[in-house]
Amino acid sequence: MAKKDYYEVLGLSRTASEDEIKRAYKKLAMKHHPDRNPGDATAEDKFKELKEAYEILSDAQKRTAYDQFGHAGVDQSAGGGFGGGGAGFGGFSDMFADIFGGGGRGGFNGPRAGDDLEYRLNLTLEQAVNGAKIDIQIPRKETCDSCRGTGAAAGYEPETCPTCGGHGKIRVQQGFFVVERTCHSCHGKGKIIKKPCSVCHGEGFVQRKKTLTVSIPAGVDEGDRIRLSGQGEAGDIGAPPGDLYVRIALQAHSIFKRQGDTLFCEVPLSLTTATLGGEIEVPTLDGRVNLKIPAGTQTGRKFKIGGKGVKSVRSGRQGDLICQVTLETPVNLTAEQQELLRNFEASLSGKGATHSPKAHGWFDSVKSFFNDALK
């Protein structure tokens, strides 16, 4: 038999808000609650439908899955079974388990695993490109050596909480409903420590600084993360520690800029070399190389030097170095040098198309623009 649409069960439209869902459920649940309809199998079935519909639609993630895929998109066991005959019903404990992560990290029952940590590590470009071994110091929560993580003083052991019976939660009757809450006596731990450890004050953990050596693989880039398993914070007794994630950050370099596996650098070029051509020496991360400059090179031109970039940490491919030349204008000229420069400029007069094609073409475009504007 096909299940009914959850929105129809609660008498709502598919655009209903969270408050509307809650109000509709409360109203209908009180009407059809088995305690108000003893021996009425129809009311019990209706109450099961209401509870299942509410548990799906009141959970944003489950509601989205249901809206997209219908009943096939949600856990068919989400409705839970009704514990008829009593003052309350099942299902709230499941909802609390979803909220607080029951059974895993943060669950009421069972030991809690340690939290993960993240450390931001600043590297020079050379360290990132070539790899390195770097010592870091991290503050973290570790198991107390004095009590071995129990939180109790020597000769004492944690006792089962008499309020919740070791469950870490208690049930509170609210009208026709039973709500589960964190135990106020043990704060959800399920244990009571009568005489706490003098070192950790009953926590079972102490804060320490730990020095670790991190091996940086060659080629790491900004934002990459290195996982050190088990080097996070300690967990409860019987639970594993968390992990440490080292996130890479790159310091600015005085010569090179990096984009992925490609390096970029800006190279100043003299007027003479740009005009007549020649060879210049440019830096790379593993030495210097000669770069041939053709005659008539313009400022901003880029030259690629293959294999002088960064070797990818993932593919092993060697990147390239891109050199962009920038024409440097002479400064602080003597009177004689200035005169020579003027004579040189005069020798080019009337030959713009031959010696300065870009400037000549630009001035022609400007002249044409103004002539068209005056028509």
Confirm if 205 and 143 have CB atoms less than 8 A apart. yes
| Of the options 2.10.230.10, 3.40.710.10, 1.10.3080.10, 2.40.340.10, the CATH number for the domain spanning 117-250 | 2.10.230.10
Determine the Cα–Cα distance for residues 216 and 123; give it in Å rounded to an integer: 10
Instruction: Map out the domains of the chain as residue ranges.
Output: 6-90, 117-250, 256-327, 335-374
User: What per-residue string of b and e applies to 336-363 under the rule 16 or more CB within 10 Å gives b?
Assistant: eeeeeeeeeeeeeeeebeeeeeeeeeee
Per the CB < 8 A criterion, the answer to whether 282 and 305 are in contact is yes
256-327, superfamily in CATH? Answer: Urease metallochaperone UreE, N-terminal domain (2.60.260.20)
Top-level class of domain 6-90: mainly alpha
Residues in the chain: 375
Look up residue 88 and give its two tokens.
């309350």
List per-residue pLDDT tens for the chain, 375 residues long: 567 889 999 999 988 898 899 999 988 988 888 778 888 888 888 988 899 899 899 988 888 878 776 777 675 433 333 333 333 333 333 333 333 333 334 444 557 889 999 999 999 999 999 999 999 999 999 999 999 999 999 989 999 999 888 888 888 776 666 777 888 888 888 889 989 999 999 989 999 999 999 999 999 999 999 999 999 999 988 889 999 999 999 999 999 999 999 999 999 999 999 999 999 999 999 999 999 999 999 999 999 999 999 999 888 899 999 999 999 999 999 999 999 999 988 888 765 556 776 766 666 676 676 666 665
Q: Rounded to whole angstroms, how far apart are CA atoms 12 and 284?
A: 68
